[in-house]
Amino acid sequence: MSDFRVIYHEPICPECGSFDIDRDQVDTGDGLSETAHICGDCGTAWPLACVTDWTAMVPAPQPSPAPDPLTRR
């Protein structure tokens, strides 16, 4: 029994919160282009792939202290 569920990111403008979002190829300036979300209201464009702002809000786990090297007495 499988219980897969696909979760789609809701395209919401990070600037104005509009749901009027379109997708288009945006020139990144390096001669490359990538698919981006574009707000239909304020024109803000942001990439589909990375959502660094969201993941940055998750507190990073404290780095565990390196285990002391075995010392020979």
Residues in contact with Zn ion by the rule CB under 5 A: 13, 15-16, 18, 39, 41-42, 44
- Identify the DSSP state of 13: -
What's the token pair of residue 32?
């490359």
Shortest Cβ 18–Zn ion spacing (Å):
4
Where would I find the H helices in 1-73? 52-56
CB nearer to Zn ion: pick between 16 and 27: 16
Q: In the complex, what is the shortest distance from the CB of residue 70 to Zn ion, in angstroms, rounded to a whole number?
A: 57
- Rounded CA gap, 22 and 36, in Å? 8
Nearer to Zn ion, 15 or 27 (CB): 15
